Amino acid sequence: MAIDITDRVSTAARRDILDLERRISSFQSGDIADEAFRKFRLTRGVYGQRQPGVQMIRIKLPYGRITADQLIRIADLSDKYATGNLHATTRQDIQLHFVKLADSPQLWAELEDAGITLKEACGNTVRNVTGSARAGIDPTEPFDITPYAYSIFDYFLRNPICQDMGRKFKIAVSSSEADSAYGYMHDVGLVPRMQDGKRGFKVMLGGGLGAQPFSAQTASEFMEEERIIPFIEGVIRVFDRYGERQKRHKARMKYLLNDIGLEEMLRLVEEETLALKVKEFDVQGLTFNVATESDEQPSTVNIEAQTENPAYATWLKTNVFEQKQAGWYAVQLRVLLGDMHSDTARALAEIVKQYAADDIRVTVNQGYLLRFVRPENLPAVFDALDALGLAEPGFDTTADITTCPGTDTCNLAISSSYGITRALETMMREEFPDLVFNDDIKIKISGCMNGCGQHSVANIGYHGSSLKNGAYVLPALQVLLGGGFNGKGEGLIADKVIKIPSKRGPDSLRYLLRDFETNAFDGEYFSDYYARQGKNYFYQLLKPLADLKTLVNTDYIDWDHTEAYVTEVGVGECASVLIDLVATTLEEATEKAGWSREALTDGRWADALYHAYNVFVTGAKAALMSRDVPTNTQYGIINDFDKTFAGEPGFHPTEGDFKAQVFSINKQEPSEAFARQFLTDADAFLHSVQTYRDAQIEHDGLPELHELVQAKDS
């Protein structure tokens, strides 16, 4: 069935959608290896679920911004293609689950019709650029970071430098020194600053979560605004060239920075300057149709005197704040598990249309923020939200837990995240009701160590695990403490303290909260209290919960389950296939040469050069594979090809010539003449590799086919 794509969809998006449709057809016909198809679909936001035959679709929302009509479109498409649920993520995306692979191109087309993309929402690309949800209305911000976050997203979308990296790359832009976008745990984190009347940013590099979390290092205390995007491009180019590509668990930017050091990283970034598409990037402000554009200003009513309803008063205190625009208010929505039914989403959109600016922000703690609400309308907004179950107090407080979907849908999850989150929130509501007013202690939960729930930057964090007791296995939680922000506003990485059975999770939180209430100094932040008492203090506090001699039958059953727990890897999406790896790699190089020619035709000289550079790298990789020489970083591939093939017929006569030719990409400004010559050289090189490979096959016979098995998504 033909894909229905409207005229409102851009040419680039149209081609992406049709390309996805073709690749799905080829994959289902057995013409594309599973691993190659997996790599392709991930960069189109199509992610394999734990359940066979269905996909998770990740909708990319730069800095979490979405309009009311876009929210309605997503809700309608969830009904049409998914389950009627919208899951907000910690990276300000919205995910739809249980989508048929064959439906994903049409779903994408209908999203693009509403100005929403899936492109590069997953895979080894620049992921969604996150930004403080309060940007533009934050009373403490030096300026609105919204146009900067958007420009970063737009600049790197479909950019050749980040289409085939060794691993994903994450960027966050906070609105103030509070770093509410958690820049300190990102590959690039930005915090806005003013210096001598000039806008700029503190720049942090090399943060990351996962099994081995790192805090970012400060690359610059102040970088002028026009230098930010060129600097990020330089960083990505260095990461692309020198980053690990074989050992997946070591392939993040944080490991490269740790290996070579900040000084060397910055030197390599500087080396890329000449080759950059732009040396300065002037960020143009974005125009939003917000309520401040109205001549009619809000009234000056006393919002706390509008009602005697205690629920409303609590909601005002925990979920509402006055914007930097005097007299206007923002309303924050606490959403359990980040899940919202499509009917609720449509009703929320109507509330926005009636009472707020058409500028909804998905928040990093899986909620929503509405802006530019008049004070006289707050009671009506509360009543409308309350009818939808969206007026729960305690937004972004201890009572508001952040969590990933865990074993409900994710291939990598080890134990239930949703179940333990419900149990902890219920326990706190019943036993610690005042925690809806505590915005110091943040609790975050992930289904495994990978950290989608951001447990490593929580004051109290948990990640799913398992424990063995004799011949039996039970679900477990790794408890992490001391992360998040301390009293000085410093971002910290949590310590792993102890592993306990999952069913004892509520007890562990109960112990921690009661201990803090009893022993903390007045006004002491939890992470400061943790640092003062020390890791061993908390290990001893929770140690009784780790005693496996006191297990009961229910400890062997995970939250939200009735059957005995078993550790299991998510079901693979299809069978393995046999392919010629060298031939497949050469096909990739040929495709990249085509992209380079297309960029030349469009007058995009820097893009043409980078695509041609990738032709050299991929062709050299194919040649090395033909001799069973292991390959890894792009720099290593070029270096090893130089050593291995120098003097071979059809290749460079002297070692060092090939390396010099390829890395000449950094020695000249991007120009038409340089781009045309570089591509001509890349085409000639690729032809030489193909000729060499043909001769090799003629001499040695047909190559051995290699079995590619399903690899896990991430």
Domain CATH code at residue 40: 3.90.480.20
Question: How many helices (H) does the chain have, and how many strands (E)?
Answer: 20, 24
Which H or E element spans position 53? Answer: none
- Residue 195 and residue 149 in one domain: yes
| Six token digits for residue 654 | 């002297």
Residue 565 within any structural domain of the chain = no
Q: Write the CA distances from 65 to 73, 130, 175, 393, 480, integer angstroms.
A: 14, 10, 14, 23, 31
Residue 483 near residue 457, CB atoms below 8 Å: yes
| pLDDT tens, position by position, 61-95 | 999 999 999 999 999 999 999 999 999 999 999 99
| pLDDT tens, position by position, 406-426 | 777 787 778 888 999 999 999
| Six token digits for residue 384 | 């409308």
Residue 713 within any structural domain of the chain = no
Residue 213 near residue 493, CB atoms below 8 Å: yes
pLDDT of residue 179: 95
| pLDDT tens, position by position, 353-377 | 999 999 999 999 999 999 999 999 9
- Residue 433 and residue 552 in one domain: yes
- Residue 383 and residue 407 in one domain: no
- Residue 432 and residue 508 in one domain: yes
| pLDDT tens, position by position, 543-577 | 999 999 999 999 999 998 988 888 764 443 333 33
Domain CATH code at residue 337: 3.30.70.3340
Residue 57 within any structural domain of the chain = yes
Residue 436 near residue 576, CB atoms below 8 Å: no
- Residue 447 and residue 550 in one domain: yes
| pLDDT tens, position by position, 501-538 | 999 999 999 999 999 999 999 999 999 999 999 999 99
pLDDT of residue 288: 46
Residue 172 near residue 216, CB atoms below 8 Å: no
pLDDT of residue 573: 37
Q: Which of 196, 193, 212, 195 is nearest to 204 (CA)?
A: 193
- 208/183 Cα distance (integer angstroms): 10
- Residue 262 and residue 323 in one domain: no
- Residue 639 and residue 497 in one domain: no
- End of a domain among 235, 257, 275? 275
- 522/122 Cα distance (integer angstroms): 44
Is residue 196 helix, strand or coil? coil
Domain CATH code at residue 251: 3.30.413.10
Mean pLDDT of 458-479: 94
Give the domain extent around 415. 402-556
Task: Indicate whether 280 pLDDT > 90.
Answer: yes
Residue 118 within any structural domain of the chain = no
- Residue 587 and residue 683 in one domain: yes
- Residue 552 and residue 406 in one domain: yes
Residue 180 near residue 128, CB atoms below 8 Å: no
Domain CATH code at residue 592: 1.20.120.330
Mean pLDDT of 383-402: 97
- Extract the runs of DSSP E, i.e. beta strands, from 364-446: 368-373, 402-403, 443-446
Mean pLDDT for the chain overall: 91
| Six token digits for residue 500 | 């306990």
Number of domains in the chain: 5
- Residue 546 and residue 409 in one domain: yes
- 4/328 Cα distance (integer angstroms): 42
| pLDDT tens, position by position, 153-168 | 999 999 999 998 999 9
Residue 609 near residue 275, CB atoms below 8 Å: yes
pLDDT of residue 568: 63
Phi, psi of 522 (to 5 degrees): -60, 125
Residue 313 within any structural domain of the chain = yes
pLDDT of residue 287: 53
Q: How confident is the model at residue 704 (pLDDT cuts 50, 70, 90)?
A: low
- Residue 327 and residue 464 in one domain: no
